[in-house]
Amino acid sequence: MIEVKDLHKAFGDVKAVDGVGFAARDGEITGLLGPNGAGKTTTLRMLYTLMIPDRGRVLVDGIDAVADPLAVRRRLGVLPDARGLYKRLTARENIDYFARLQGLPEDELRARREALVQALAMEDIADRRTEGFSQGQRVKTAIARALIHDPRNVILDEPTNGLDVMATRALRQFMLKLKAEGRCVLFSSHIMQEVAALCDRIVVIAHGRVVADATPDALREQTGQANLEDAFVKLIGSEEGLAA
Amino acid sequence: MNTLQTTPLRRSRAFLTVFLKEVRENLRDRRTLTSAFLTGPLLTPLLFVMLISFTVNRELDKAEQPLKVPVIGAQYAPNLVGALEAGGVVPQPAIADPERAVREQRADLVLRIAPGYAEAWRKGEPVQVELIYDSSQRDSGTPVDRVTKLVEGYARQQGAMRLVARGLSPGVAVPVVVAKRDQATAQSRAVLMFNMLPYLFVLTIFIGGMYLAIDLTAGERERQSLEPLFANPVPRWKIFLGKLAAICAFSTASLLICLLAFGVTGRFVPTEKLGMEVNLGPAFALHVLLLQLPLIVLLAGLQSMVAAFAKSYREAQTYLSLLMLLPILPSIALMVMPLRPKDWMYAVPLLGQHLGILDLVRGEGIGAVPLALCLGGSALAALVVALVTMQLYRSERLAISG
């Protein structure tokens, strides 16, 4: 469970996040939807304690992110916008590194790692150095690395960015599996169909503010648009940065 | 509750995990390996020994070998020429324009005897012989000294004979004599040549850790892996310490290889030919290592700090190349203004190591107080730099790439 209350963050004069608040519940997929530069990544960075909010609170399973960032990080699995694998290490070694930083005992580490390697269908690449990995292989490795400590809450920043159709489909299946396991899944996207297909709840962000927070159906009703894409355009008030 | 149980375990492992991962990853990088374990530590001893052997052998050769000097007007002073020949000079036929020949480096030096030589000699008047040379040429120094000494020796001898012929003691003409008593021991003479040695060691440490320092901060940021790394439940200062330890491990290994190489190649330096005695054996190596230990941490900290400021790998590389000039300062300062080492100087990082290593080369060994000051001063500086860099690591901007 992730709760965000009235978050603010400014860089100089630019208000990147200007009063964002929402809740992502366990056993649901929550989509953070918004055009490029709307403040999605900055919001997520405050969630996983990389940045400290100027104002407002982040609670993960009831723990304040500013007061106890280490406890919050232990409860989060994070796929940041920057995937950043270590290219001189193999996929397995990349996963192991994060597992040890999470403090997993070695036997648990092996079991979890192999389960993830299997779940993400990456047996064929697991012992290759990540240098030269395709975008899809990189995302798989980064996701395995992020979930190695079996976190209740999963944050994925634009997870399908740069993936081909097959990889995107596989990733969506995987996210549904995470939801079925009862986890709280929060992901950001600027792709309409993806959000519509996956989300139990959509939080639309534009210009650093939440402009809508509802189920996909409620969103369609609210805007009077049958098509979610039209609903989105109406909500953010322009077609700026909208990509499919 | 599971969290609570594993907390102590997590504390102890984060540092080691980061350290081992960085070492393993960088052992797979050919460029880092080459510079840390091959070119860095081996090139300097090799160059140093080659340079010294070359210099020593050349100086020795010059002193012993026959010296060919074109002589103009040799026919006016057969006795003088005879005395020069006895001193190992081989007179060459006269050349037309000696000044030009010297400037154009066709001759190291030319001796010119004026046609009035014989006439003045007979009258007992002082006569002049000219030595034409170019002191901006490295080669001319020793031959000029040799010929000058021979001419002066001949003059003294002839002067004494004239006095004796007039019934006077030759001592009359020499009221004061300088007796030179050089207190330099064989080892202390070596110090002059080995003045660059401390800098070479520092340079080796610096190069050994440089690529790691760049890779672990600026490089990791450029590859965008710092953000996911910081999403782990490990305080950033522990990550930094693990990285610092990895840099230190590489630079220490680099220094060890360098010392080993000096121990081996040092045997080929023909110092004994110059009456010097230099011991670059195990005792020397151990002492150098001890002196450099706090400096290794200090340099690693400085490198990480500078690399943390840089936005990219390339930028960090540029900054660090500039930082590399820093350790040369004590060497230059001591060359320009030779200071008498005082105890407090040992407490200054870099300068302390410089003085300490020269003490070792001089064969005196390093005293307990200077040693303690040297280690303490550098350790304190290392601590300060590490704390400042730790502070830098806490900044929000550090993790964000782009």
Give the domain CATH number at B130.
3.40.1710.10
Q: Residue A72's pLDDT band (boundaries 50, 70, 90)?
A: very high
A142 touches chain B (CB under 8 A): yes
Number of domains in chain B: 2
Query: How far apart are alpha carbons B248 and B74 in whole angstroms?
Result: 67
The first and second tokens of residue B390, run together, are 């730790």
Tens place of pLDDT per residue across chain B (402 aa): 344 444 444 455 899 999 999 999 999 998 888 888 988 888 888 887 787 777 777 666 666 678 888 998 888 888 888 888 888 888 888 888 888 888 888 888 888 988 888 888 888 888 888 888 888 776 666 788 888 888 888 888 888 888 888 888 888 777 787 877 766 665 555 566 677 788 889 989 999 999 999 999 888 888 889 999 999 999 999 999 999 999 999 999 999 999 998 888 877 776 666 666 667 788 889 999 999 999 999 999 999 999 988 888 899 999 998 998 888 787 777 777 766 778 888 998 988 998 898 888 877 788 899 999 999 999 999 999 999 999 988 888 887 765
pLDDT at B10 (0 to 100): 46
Same-domain status, B227 and B277? yes
pLDDT at B58 (0 to 100): 67
Q: Residue A10's pLDDT band (boundaries 50, 70, 90)?
A: very high
- Report which of B356, B252, B301, B277 is spatially closest to residue B41, judged by C-alpha positions: B252
Query: How far apart are alpha carbons B312 and A114 in whole angstroms?
Result: 35
The last residue of one of the domains, among B173, B195, B230, is B173
Side chain identity, residue B52: I
A21 touches chain B (CB under 8 A): no
Same-domain status, B230 and B333? yes
Give yes or no for residue A29 having a pLDDT over 50: yes
| H or E, element range at B90 | strand B89-92
The whole-number average pLDDT for the span A70-89 is 92
The answer to whether residue B179 is domain-embedded is no
The answer to whether residue B118 is domain-embedded is yes
Query: How far apart are alpha carbons B224 and B311 in whole angstroms?
Result: 11
**Tokens 């694998």 map to which residue?**
A85
Judging by DSSP bridges, how do beta strands B109-113 and B129-133 pair with one another?
Answer: antiparallel
Q: Which residues of B touch A (CB under 8 A)?
A: 3, 6-7, 9-10, 13-14, 17-18, 21, 24-26, 28-29, 220, 223-235, 396, 399-401
The last residue of one of the domains, among B173, B199, B233, is B173
Same-domain status, B266 and B326? yes
The answer to whether residue B88 is domain-embedded is yes
Inter-residue contact A127 to A165 (CB < 8 Å): no
Gyration radius from chain A CA atoms: 18
Query: How far apart are alpha carbons A68 and A52 in whole angstroms?
Result: 12
Burial group, residue B147, by CB count within 10 angstroms (0-12, 13-18, 19+): buried
pLDDT at B5 (0 to 100): 42
Same-domain status, B223 and B332? yes
- Mind telling me how many Å the CA of A49 is from chain B's nearest CA? 7
Query: How far apart are alpha carbons B111 and B102 in whole angstroms?
Result: 11
- Out of B3, B18, B230, closest to residue A50 by CB: B230
pLDDT at B195 (0 to 100): 76
Query: How far apart are alpha carbons B284 and B282 in whole angstroms?
Result: 5
The answer to whether residue B125 is domain-embedded is yes
Give yes or no for residue A77 having a pLDDT over 60: yes
Same-domain status, B217 and B261? yes
The answer to whether residue B61 is domain-embedded is no
Question: In the sheet that A14-24 helps form, which strands lie side by side, from edge to edge?
Answer: A14-24, A2-11, A55-60, A63-64
Q: What percent of chain A has pLDDT over 90?
A: 66
Same-domain status, B257 and B366? yes
pLDDT at B63 (0 to 100): 62
Query: How far apart are alpha carbons B300 and B303 in whole angstroms?
Result: 5
pLDDT at A7 (0 to 100): 95
Selected residue of B1, B222, B227 to mutate for chain A interface (largest A Cβ count, 10 A): B227
The last residue of one of the domains, among B173, B200, B217, is B173
Distance of CA B246 to the CA centre of its chain: 28
Report the residue of chain B nearest A47, measured CA to CA.
B231
pLDDT at A239 (0 to 100): 56
Query: How far apart are alpha carbons B261 and B270 in whole angstroms?
Result: 16
Same-domain status, B240 and B332? yes
Same-domain status, B43 and B73? no
Same-domain status, B257 and B377? yes
The SS3 assignment for B254 reads helix
Which residues on chain B are in Cβ contact (under 8 Å) with A105? 6, 9
The answer to whether residue B271 is domain-embedded is yes
| H or E, element range at A64 | strand A63-64
- Report which of A43, A35, A151, A97 is spatially closest to residue B13, judged by C-alpha positions: A97
Question: In the sheet that B109-113 helps form, which strands lie side by side, from edge to edge?
Answer: B89-92, B67-72, B109-113, B129-133
Same-domain status, B35 and B143? no
- Report which of B207, B194, B166 is spatially closest to residue B363, judged by C-alpha positions: B194
The string of pLDDT tens digits covering residues A144-170 is 999 999 999 999 999 988 888 888 888
Selected residue of A50, A139, A141 to mutate for chain B interface (largest B Cβ count, 10 A): A50
The answer to whether residue B180 is domain-embedded is no
Side chain identity, residue B203: L
- Out of B227, B232, B400, closest to residue A102 by CB: B232
pLDDT at B229 (0 to 100): 93
A135 touches chain B (CB under 8 A): no
Q: What share of chain A is helix, strand, coil (3-state, %, to 5)?
A: 40, 25, 35
State the count of interchain CB pairs (< 8 A) between A and B.
91
- Out of A52, A76, A85, closest to residue B396 by CB: A52
The SS3 assignment for B67 reads strand
Same-domain status, B160 and B249? no
The answer to whether residue B178 is domain-embedded is no
pLDDT at B228 (0 to 100): 93
- Mind telling me how many Å the CA of A45 is from chain B's nearest CA? 9
pLDDT at B1 (0 to 100): 37
Same-domain status, B226 and B168? no
Q: What is the pTM of this model?
A: 0.80
Judging by DSSP bridges, how do beta strands A2-11 and A14-24 pair with one another?
Answer: antiparallel
Contact criterion met (CB < 8 Å) for B224 and A82: yes
The string of pLDDT tens digits covering residues A14-27 is 899 999 999 999 99
Selected residue of B21, B211, B217 to mutate for chain A interface (largest A Cβ count, 10 A): B21
Query: Which residues form the domain of B97?
Result: 66-173
Distance of CA B187 to the CA centre of its chain: 16
List beta partners, residue A78.
A155
The whole-number average pLDDT for the span A43-59 is 94
Query: How far apart are alpha carbons A202 and A214 in whole angstroms?
Result: 6
